[in-house]
Amino acid sequence: MLDVYLIYRSVTHGQGAAAVVQRAGLRSRLIRSPANLAPSGCAYALTLRRADAGAALSALRRAGNAPASVWLRTADGRYGRWEP
């Protein structure tokens, strides 16, 4: 289940992040962000498995492409801020 959401302000930045994560050998999917994770409207979420999220974030920080925020989608469909 892809339950960690890395939020990017633009599709281009999200695509850049997806490329970094792919190079790290991790699976991800770029989607439009849920509205409550993007208070300024229209953003993009790079979604990952929780098990991969720590490695993905490390790779993204090394590449200078850290997300604006990180969220975990819980089983009941709510989102909470998340730290690996």
Partner 1 sequence: MIYLDSAATTFHKPPAVYRAVETAMRTCASPGRGGYAAAQAAERTVYRCRTLAAELFDCPPESVCFTSCATEGLNIAIRTLVRPGDRVVISGLEHNAVTRPLHAIGAVTEPVRVPLFSSDAWAEAFAGAVTKGTACVICTQVSNVFGAVLPIDRIAALCAERGIPLIVDASQAAGLLPVRLRAWKAAFVAMPGHKGLYGPQGTGMLLCGRMPQPLRFGGTGSLSAEQTMPDFLPDRLEAGTLNVPGIAGLGAGLRYVKALGRGGRLADERRMLIRAAAELRRLGASVWTGPSQTGVLSFCIPGVDPAEAAARFAERGIALRAGLHCAPLAHRTAGTFPAGTIRASVSSMTAPEDLTALVRTAKRLYF
Q: Measured from the CB atom, is 30 or 72 closer to partner 1?
A: 30
Task: Name the site residues for partner 1 (rule: CB under 8 A).
Answer: 9-13, 15-16, 19, 30-32, 39-44
- C-alpha closest to that of 71 among 59, 79, 63: 79
Cβ within 8 Å of residue 16, ≥6 positions away? 65
- Per the CB < 8 A criterion, the answer to whether 34 and 76 are in contact is no
Q: Measured from the CB atom, is 77 or 83 closer to partner 1?
A: 77
- What's the closest the beta carbon of residue 71 comes to partner 1, in angstroms? 17
Q: Measured from the CB atom, is 41 or 83 closer to partner 1?
A: 41
